[in-house]
Amino acid sequence: IVSERISFCLNILPLFFSFKESLKSLFLCASNSVNLFVFQWEIVQTVVNGSPLYTYSVCNVDSSDQDNWLRTTFIQRRSGASRVSVELQFVVRDCNTFGSSSVACKETFNLFLAEADADVGTNFRKGQFRKVATIAPDEITQGNVLKVNTETKTVGSLSKKGFYLAFQDMGACVALLSARVYYKTCPSTVQSLAVFPETVADSLREVEGVCVENAIGQATPRIYCSAEGDWVVPVGQCQCLPGYETTGDSCQECKPGYFKSSVSLASCQVCPRNTKPSSAGASECQCEDGFFRSPSDPPTSPSPPSAPRDLTATTLSGEGRLLLSWSPPLVTGHRPDLTYSVACSICDGTACSTCGERIRFETDPAELRETNIIVSDLDSHLNYTFTVEAHSGVSQFDPERASATVTAALDYTDPPKVTSIHLEKSGPTSLSLSWSLSRERDVTTYTVRILDKSFVQITDLTPDTPYIFKVQALSPEGTPGSFSTEHEFHTSPLAEPQIQNNSTAVLGAVVGVAVILLAVLAFVVLRRRLVTAHFTSTVNPLQAYVDPHTYEDPNIAIQKFVTEIDPNAIAKHKVIGVGEFGEVFRGVMKTQGRGEVTVAIKTLKPGYSEKQRQDFLSEASIMGQFSHPNIIHLEGVVTKFKHAMIVTEYMENGALDTYLKDHDGEMSPYQLLGMLRGIAAGMKYLSDMSYVHRDLAARNVLVNSNLECKVSDFGLSRVLEDDAEGTYTTRGGKIPIRWTAPEAIAYRKFTSASDVWSFGIVMWEVMAFGERPYWDMSNHEVMKAINEAFRLPAPMDCPSAIYQLMLQCWQQDRAIRPRFADIVNILDKLLRSPESLKTIADFDPRVSIRLPSTSGGDGTMFRSVTEWLESIKMSQYKESFARAGITTMEQVLALRHEDIRNIGVRLPGHMKRIAYSILGLKDESSSLSVFAV
Ligand code: AMP
């Protein structure tokens, strides 16, 4: 590397430690330059981008056995900063440019670090240094234009008073331009009216704040400082004292003529009528002479109105009309000028938009004096949210604007009319017909068949789609009998191993189908056949899921979505599990069409409160809205009987996590993939219905005797009182940390994209046969690792394509995670080409998780094989190892897969644990990388 050489010197070294504004100097005494000790590195003036720079250079490419070291002076560490980053700028010359004489030439150098409690001066000992990283250039310099590389390495767990960095060259042609050493802080901030001090960003760390001047809080305000220097998850809120209002990040005195009587976030209000103007910072306004306020009168009197009550929406006859009606608010503030305003929005589970011009209010919704209004031009596919506010002349002072909200959809009972029928095609044995409807309801296709036999096979259906069927018999004279009840049947998903031929439905005459619309067609063939079956298939565009909580009376939600079952039709046989509300039984239910069917019966334990009963039944109101082969099917509920029960289809193999643990290693990746495909199809259905599950995990998936998987656990007490994994977060809600996407943990952004993250974890659980995600790492460690971009490694023997999909689901940016529709497509593709599963994902110890029990790095932490086996809970193999002559950790480190098997470890789970542990032990850098992607 060219340029003028300057004389070798030890001390004056213009290596730059330029600190960005947000980064703090780590060096308390070393000022802005750091001296380096040089062993065969030289200071060279180099021209980079036209400017001369001093660099440390070494270029002994033509002799082997190079070992050239360059060391910084002692760098003091600020206490608290146990993680520092080292940013290096350097140039490396291409070995090829030196010709054949440079056989020993290298293109990398190494970064080392040694901690020390005191400056050891020039006493340099290689052995004291530990390697941090091999530094390799992204761009190699070949010609005269120098390619400057920048590389940053982070070193953690520093504990001594300071440290030295060293650079080891083993035969490269390197010029070091700068080394910048820094740590990050979360800058001092004001959030929720609390001041938080500048904090060293180390690992996720909880920081306490103090309320700003003239504010108080109920509890000490807290917030987390992330390893990246960002403040996350603030907890608690300070509020301004009486006489003060929130202005930006501070509490300011109320202006003269205004007052504020309580500790709150509210603004100061104008002094009410008949009071004297107040001075600045007033907590109340004195009454004018001759006016009085009784002790029970609020200082704000006359107050703005409270929210309207009993808001309801009723479908009116005629096209697309609803009547909204409500009762006047409880508190009117004794003012005669009470009016109402009505607003409409459409919400899709993640965002709401205003209805705007799409609907019409039959009177002006801005200044209503009546307590009702008619809304028209509504679309029968949509759910509308109406918000009604009451106003009076003092509403402008009310920051809260109390309102009532109702979510409503058109609820038609009258069927649409068939307005015309056309003959599309006629042949000797067939007729093709089409018809139009006065109003399109959730029907996209119809098929009609006339049969003279008692069964039918329908082909060419769409996989994984619900079809509704109804059968009608015709007499020899052609008189139509009554239709059977509607039955919904679902075609199976494509390529699920156990059910390949799915685009076919076989119907017996007893289970007929057809929507009401079909009846109009019956005459077409009336005279010809003895028994005529008509069926129609309908594909329902999915209705959005309705949160039962939006019903003021939860019993109405239950009536709307759930069938009531006669308790006498149910018999409990055996306890199969325990849920939050009571025991779960296997039992039977007598049905009209299907005889006795085996069912699961969830019971509500005695001594429940009304709230618990409603929470218990809310799961049924949610489940009752779903109909999909991969969602647990609700048969109905018993509510009229003393002990409420929820009856669902029975899943012979119970919860998926337990099933997998019990069958560790017994299923092929192909079979596991089939199960995952089912779960993904169920989740796609839920996300299409705008339902966000929030607790998708293998323990909440049930498996039947065909190994079909169905998503369950739709409790409303969810998030997540009934889940042992639920951990209280700093905001008081419970979240199953290791299954939950970071944005949902940090700020409760639960969406289908956060469900996709959980699905990735379920994929991992399935491929690892029910292994606990992140093993015995604590929740705190898991959050920290995820924050630092680490991800779970591939399970043993996991096809690479499946692991790649997991990683996609775990993208930090939720917008770029795949959607469930994409996941189903990808899984289908893999199932169609099993050879795509042959490539197994690498288990790379350098970038993968270290088992917690192996943390420590190099195996030397275990004094004996026994101690090691105990630490990974595998001590049952002590004798087997001894018998095989494996008595030292060196021998353990040399073991290969076959060796472990030959020692006598056969169970796949045990094999896995032992092999992982050995990989972790071999991993030199395990103390640095947990599982980096
Ligand atoms: P849950 O309250 O839904 O978590 O149910 C508790 C336990 O009961 C589950 O972990 C299952 O073992 C069992 N269980 C619940 N529902 C069913 C079902 N439909 N079929 C079989 N077992 C079930």
Map 858-894 to HEC letters. Answer: CCCCCCCHHHHHHHCCCHHHHHHHHHCCCCCHHHHHC
Is the Cβ atom of 861 under 6 angstroms away from ligand 1? no
Is the Cβ atom of 851 under 6 angstroms away from ligand 1? no
Measured from the Cα of 651, ligand 1's closest atom is 20
Q: What is the mean pLDDT of residues 447-456?
A: 54
pLDDT score of 437 more than 60:
no
**570, 573, 575, 576: residue to mutate for ligand 1 pocket, most atoms within 8 A of CB:** 576
Measured from the Cα of 700, ligand 1's closest atom is 4
Is 582 among the annotated ligand-binding positions?
yes
Tell which wins on pLDDT, 718 or 517: 718
Hey, whose CA ends up nearest to atom 4 of ligand 1? Answer: 579
**pLDDT band at residue 425 using 50, 70 and 90 as cut-offs:** low
**pLDDT band at residue 4 using 50, 70 and 90 as cut-offs:** very low
Is 581 among the annotated ligand-binding positions?
yes
Q: How many CB atoms lie within 10 A of CB 789?
A: 12
What separation in angstroms does the CA of 561 have from each of 186, 386, 591, 623?
50, 22, 19, 8
Is the Cβ atom of 619 under 6 angstroms away from ligand 1? no
Give the C-alpha separation, 909 to 896, whole Å.
Answer: 16
How far is ligand 1, taken at its centre, from the CA of residue 613, in Å?
18
Instruction: Give, to the nearest 10 degrees, the angle between helix 820-832 and helix 669-688.
Output: 150
Is the C-alpha dihedral spanning 805, 809, 815, 820 positive or negative? positive
**637, 702, 713: residue to mutate for ligand 1 pocket, most atoms within 8 A of CB:** 702
pLDDT score of 28 more than 60:
no
Evaluate whether 47 touches 3 at the Cβ level (below 8 Å).
yes
Task: With H, G, I as helix, E, B as strand and everything else as coil, classify residue 129.
Answer: coil
Q: How many CB atoms lie within 10 A of CB 350?
A: 12
How far is ligand 1, taken at its centre, from the CA of residue 549, in Å?
24
For residues 832-858, one letter each, b for 16 or more C-beta atoms within 10 angstroms of the residue's C-beta and e for the rest, the string is eeeeebeeebebebebbbbbbbbeebe
Is the Cβ atom of 584 under 6 angstroms away from ligand 1? yes
Q: What is the pLDDT of residue 162?
A: 92
How far is ligand 1, taken at its centre, from the CA of residue 585, in Å?
8
Q: What is the pLDDT of residue 526?
A: 24
Is 770 among the annotated ligand-binding positions?
no
Is the Cβ atom of 704 under 6 angstroms away from ligand 1? no
DSSP H helical segments within 459-598, as ranges?
A: 554-561
Q: What is the mean pLDDT of residues 276-283?
A: 92
How far is ligand 1, taken at its centre, from the CA of residue 600, in Å?
8
Give the C-alpha separation, 571 to 430, whole Å.
Answer: 49
Give the C-alpha separation, 551 to 559, whole Å.
Answer: 11
**What are the tokens at 759?**
């699905």
What is the bridge-based pairing of β-strands 701-703 and 244-247?
A: unpaired
Is the Cβ atom of 246 under 6 angstroms away from ligand 1? no
Q: What number of CA atoms fall less than 13 Å from residue 541's CA on the CB side?
A: 9
Is 624 among the annotated ligand-binding positions?
no
Is the Cβ atom of 713 under 6 angstroms away from ligand 1? yes
Is the Cβ atom of 601 under 6 angstroms away from ligand 1? no
Give the C-alpha separation, 555 to 548, whole Å.
Answer: 9
Residues whose CB is less than 8 angstroms from the CB of residue 193 and which lie 6 or more positions away in sequence, other chains included? 211, 212, 215, 217, 237, 238, 239, 240, 246, 249, 250, 251
Is the Cβ atom of 652 under 6 angstroms away from ligand 1? no
Is the Cβ atom of 695 under 6 angstroms away from ligand 1? no
How far is ligand 1, taken at its centre, from the CA of residue 577, in Å?
6
Is the Cβ atom of 620 under 6 angstroms away from ligand 1? no
The strand pairing partners of 186, in sequence order, are 199
Hey, whose CA ends up nearest to atom 17 of ligand 1? Answer: 600
Tell which wins on pLDDT, 472 or 77: 77
pLDDT score of 591 more than 60:
yes
Is the Cβ atom of 654 under 6 angstroms away from ligand 1? yes
Hey, whose CA ends up nearest to atom 2 of ligand 1? Answer: 579
**What are the tokens at 307?**
């929210």
Is the Cβ atom of 648 under 6 angstroms away from ligand 1? yes
How far is ligand 1, taken at its centre, from the CA of residue 595, in Å?
23
Give the C-alpha separation, 562 to 617, whole Å.
Answer: 10
Task: Calculate the average pLDDT of the chain.
Answer: 77
Instruction: Give, to the nearest 10 degrees, the angle between helix 800-809 and helix 820-832.
Output: 180
DSSP 352-390: EEE-GGGSEESS-SSSB-SSEEEEES--TT--EEEEEEE
Give the C-alpha separation, 64 to 67, whole Å.
Answer: 9
Tell the residue number behind the tokens 């608290």, with chain if given: 80
Q: What is the pLDDT of residue 216?
A: 95
Closest CA to 802 of 910, 675, 708, 705: 675
Tell which wins on pLDDT, 495 or 300: 300
The strand pairing partners of 56, in sequence order, are 43, 176
Hey, whose CA ends up nearest to atom 10 of ligand 1? Answer: 655
Is 838 among the annotated ligand-binding positions?
no
Is the Cβ atom of 702 under 6 angstroms away from ligand 1? yes
Give the C-alpha separation, 711 to 692, whole Å.
Answer: 12
Give the C-alpha separation, 657 to 525, whole Å.
Answer: 54
Measured from the Cα of 578, ligand 1's closest atom is 6
How far is ligand 1, taken at its centre, from the CA of residue 705, in Å?
14
pLDDT score of 605 more than 90:
no
DSSP 450-490: --SSSEEEE-SPPTT-EEEE--EEE-TT--EEEEPPPEEEE
**581, 584, 637: residue to mutate for ligand 1 pocket, most atoms within 8 A of CB:** 584
Is 546 among the annotated ligand-binding positions?
no
Give the C-alpha separation, 94 to 172, whole Å.
Answer: 9
Is 162 among the annotated ligand-binding positions?
no
Q: Cα-atom radius of gyration of the chain, to the nearest Å? A: 36
Give the C-alpha separation, 900 to 916, whole Å.
Answer: 12
Give the C-alpha separation, 822 to 287, whole Å.
Answer: 68
Is 580 among the annotated ligand-binding positions?
yes
How far is ligand 1, taken at its centre, from the CA of residue 734, in Å?
21
Give the C-alpha separation, 847 to 932, whole Å.
Answer: 5
Give the C-alpha separation, 181 to 155, whole Å.
Answer: 10
Residue type, 353: S
pLDDT score of 378 more than 80:
yes
How far is ligand 1, taken at its centre, from the CA of residue 796, in Å?
29
Tell the residue number behind the tokens 């099993």, with chain if given: 834
Give the residue numbers marked as catalytic: 695
Task: With H, G, I as helix, E, B as strand and everything else as coil, classify residue 215.
Answer: strand
Tell which wins on pLDDT, 11 or 250: 250
Give the C-alpha separation, 885 to 893, whole Å.
Answer: 14
Hey, whose CA ends up nearest to atom 16 of ligand 1? Answer: 600
Using a 10 angstrom Cβ sphere, with 0-12 exposed, 13-18 middle and 19 or more buried, the burial of residue 395 is: buried
Reply yes or no: is the peptide bond before residue 656 cis, omega within 30 of 0: no
How far is ligand 1, taken at its centre, from the CA of residue 775, in Å?
24
Measured from the Cα of 584, ligand 1's closest atom is 8
Q: How many CB atoms lie within 10 A of CB 759?
A: 27
Per-residue model confidence as pLDDT tens digits over 906-916: 777 788 778 87
Per-residue model confidence as pLDDT tens digits over 666-708: 888 999 999 999 999 999 999 998 899 999 999 999 999 999 9
**What are the tokens at 842?**
């690498």
Give the C-alpha separation, 452 to 431, whole Å.
Answer: 16
Give the C-alpha separation, 719 to 713, whole Å.
Answer: 11
Q: What is the pLDDT of residue 456?
A: 61
Hey, whose CA ends up nearest to atom 21 of ligand 1? Answer: 651
Hey, whose CA ends up nearest to atom 5 of ligand 1? Answer: 579
Measured from the Cα of 632, ligand 1's closest atom is 19
Q: For each of the domains in the chain, give its residue range(s) and CATH number, in order of start.
A: 20-183 (2.60.120.260), 186-240 (2.60.40.1770), 309-410 (2.60.40.10), 418-539 (2.60.40), 548-648 (3.30.200.20), 656-842 (1.10.510.10), 846-924 (1.10.150.50)
Task: With H, G, I as helix, E, B as strand and everything else as coil, classify residue 79.
Answer: coil
Hey, whose CA ends up nearest to atom 7 of ligand 1? Answer: 577
* First vs last C-alpha separation in the chain: 35
Per-residue model confidence as pLDDT tens digits over 96-143: 888 877 778 888 999 999 999 988 877 888 889 999 999 999 999 988
Is the Cβ atom of 583 under 6 angstroms away from ligand 1? no
How far is ligand 1, taken at its centre, from the CA of residue 616, in Å?
14
Residues whose CB is less than 8 angstroms from the CB of residue 264 and which lie 6 or more positions away in sequence, other chains included? 239, 240
Length of the chain: 933
Is the Cβ atom of 803 under 6 angstroms away from ligand 1? no
**What are the tokens at 272?**
């009410």
Tell me the whole-structure pTM to 2 decimals.
0.44
Helix then strand count (H, E) for the chain reads: 14, 50
Q: What is the pLDDT of residue 443?
A: 37
Residues whose CB is less than 8 angstroms from the CB of residue 356 and which lie 6 or more positions away in sequence, other chains included? none
How far is ligand 1, taken at its centre, from the CA of residue 654, in Å?
6
Using a 10 angstrom Cβ sphere, with 0-12 exposed, 13-18 middle and 19 or more buried, the burial of residue 507 is: buried
What is the bridge-based pairing of β-strands 68-72 and 162-169?
A: antiparallel
Is 873 among the annotated ligand-binding positions?
no
Evaluate whether 468 touches 446 at the Cβ level (below 8 Å).
no
Hey, whose CA ends up nearest to atom 6 of ligand 1? Answer: 579
Tell which wins on pLDDT, 857 or 300: 300
**What are the tokens at 401?**
């604007």
Per-residue model confidence as pLDDT tens digits over 647-664: 999 999 999 999 999 898
Residue type, 125: R
pLDDT score of 856 more than 50:
no
Is the Cβ atom of 651 under 6 angstroms away from ligand 1? yes
**pLDDT band at residue 202 using 50, 70 and 90 as cut-offs:** confident
Is 471 among the annotated ligand-binding positions?
no
